[in-house]
Amino acid sequence: MEISVRDLITVLHGMGFGTLFMMAFSGAIGVIYVTAFVGIQPVASRWTTLMFRFYLISMAALAWLTVLSGAYIIYPWYRAKPPAGTTDLSGFPRSLLLSNPHTAGWHNLGMEWKENVAWFAPIVMTMVAFVFIKYGPQIALHRQLRNAVLGFTAVAFLAAAIAGGFGAFLNKYAPVRGGHEIILFQAD
């Protein structure tokens, strides 16, 4: 059982950082809701606040890891130009998609949107983590602030969903493959 380096890093980008970030959203909404609307109980406040801070900082870090690995490791492989005369475009995902009018939209709409809108998520989640850490349970006293933070969190979720959804489809129609093969399991 083998996997190429590019496949492995693409999986880490999408299924590792990206999916973990998406899955953490329900928790983030819960964290903000509990703090802002219910208020942290005084007995558990120190520990709970620390855990909530760690959770939101981890989410922001995951969002940054996702976009940075996507833009600076995978995207160059995706957009690499094939040498003149290349007929097999399987190693050049962007060119492969654009070579067929039925798949060109996956690049022209999917990748063109995804590569930019994805950056909203780390920007917004960094802001959300900062506001939460700065105000802690006091955010319950700032109704407009907590509503704005929740609204921005929803937009970060939307941005991540757009990027993640198109990423999954793009990797289905034109997977980023190549590099050294890593043997995961050696059959007898």
Which residues here bind another protein, judged by CB under 8 A? Answer: 67, 71-72, 75-76, 79-80, 108-109, 112-113, 115-117, 119-120, 123-124, 126-127, 130-131, 134-135, 138-139, 141-142, 144-145, 147-149, 151-152, 155, 159
What is the spatial distance between Cα 92 and Cα 151, in angstroms, rounded to a whole number? 38
Nearer to another protein, 87 or 144 (CB): 144
Q: How far is the CB of 16 from another protein (least distance, A)?
A: 20
Which residues does residue 182 pair with via DSSP β-bridges, in sequence order?
3
Nearer to another protein, 75 or 183 (CB): 75
What is the spatial distance between Cα 12 and Cα 3, in angstroms, rounded to a whole number? 12
Residue linked to tokens 């970030």: 21
Closest CA to 152 of 180, 121, 183: 121
Phi-psi region of 39 (alpha: psi -120 to 50; beta: other; left: phi over 0): left
The answer to whether 77 touches 92, Cβ cutoff 8 Å, is: no
Nearer to another protein, 36 or 174 (CB): 36
Closest CA to 170 of 89, 109, 80: 109
Residue linked to tokens 């959804």: 165
Q: How far is the CB of 139 from another protein (least distance, A)?
A: 8
119 contact partners, CB below 8 Å, separation of at least 6: 67, 159
Q: How far is the CB of 33 from another protein (least distance, A)?
A: 17
Q: How far is the CB of 40 from another protein (least distance, A)?
A: 13
Nearer to another protein, 134 or 180 (CB): 134
Nearer to another protein, 34 or 80 (CB): 80
Q: How far is the CB of 157 from another protein (least distance, A)?
A: 13
Nearer to another protein, 24 or 121 (CB): 121
Q: How far is the CB of 188 from another protein (least distance, A)?
A: 41
- The SS3 of residue 103 is coil
